[in-house]
Amino acid sequence: MFEKLKQHWKVNGLNLALIITTFAVGGSLCGYAGRKLLALTHLDKGFLWIVLYIVLITLLWPLAVLIISIPLGQFTFFKKYIVKIFSRFSGKQTSHHTKTVNIAIFASGAGSNASKIIESSLLGSHYKVALIVCNKAGAGVMDIAAKAGIPSLLIEKEQFFKGDAYLPILQKNNIDFIVLAGFLWKIPGALIKAYPKKIINIHPALLPKYGGKGMFGHHVHEAVINNKEKESGITIHYVDEIYDHGAIIFQATCSIAENDTAATLAQMVHVLEHEHYPKIIAEVVQ
């Protein structure tokens, strides 16, 4: 449970402990304050007292946790948390939720991750898959694009690396964000410059280990197994000019048993990819 909370809130173990402490102490504080205030009314502890107590602690809780969060260094987290709760209950959305973000998925293979991302986008996410970009004719991801009715673009090396990097086409399709999902070519500097902090990738290992040129697919899993690692997983990170080098956004792990092979490890990693990548994309694009 604690691992899931750390991943969901994107915090380390210490901050998670401080957040839980703030919840607990803040809850106790608003309960105490609610009882003291009701004592001033001299009401008997009947139905009306209970109703007023619930109303009071509901109103006092945000203030209580914000006060407690200050000395514990969690004010920023709880400020965002309370604003998010208020937005949901009021039916209002903050300004950054109003725009649907158009993403382009760059892929080279079968497109299983692309398929999951498309599915997620159709379930009410704040992003839309507006273009599928592929560098391999006949790749499965092109069929996925066709079935989903999403425009696709087949690219070639000369124009990608030495020409305009297809930037005019991306701009014509109003692409706001680029998601790499099994895309094997290095992203040229022109695209990185045009989309700063707006290109992300998923790597099938725990970076900084097992990254770099040539570290993709089964090559990664074989290296992990050959080195007798006890765990592997996925890393979602921003893309810069160096392979698998950009700032890490999220990681999830899986344990490796003695009898696991590169094939069984690949299956476990695929599960993590499909579970987490669409959710992290939804969070990052906002």
Catalytic residue annotation: 203
What the block records as the tokens of 40 is: 């001033």
Q: Which of 202, 181, 204 is nearest to 266 (CA)?
A: 204
Q: Which of 244, 265, 247, 270 is nearest to 10 (CA)?
A: 247
On whether the CB atoms of residues 74 and 58 are closer than 8 A, the answer is no
Q: Which of 157, 232, 225 is nearest to 188 (CA)?
A: 157
What the block records as the tokens of 53 is: 């107590």
What the block records as the tokens of 34 is: 């609610």
Over the Cα atoms of the chain, what is R_g? 24
On whether the CB atoms of residues 68 and 29 are closer than 8 A, the answer is yes
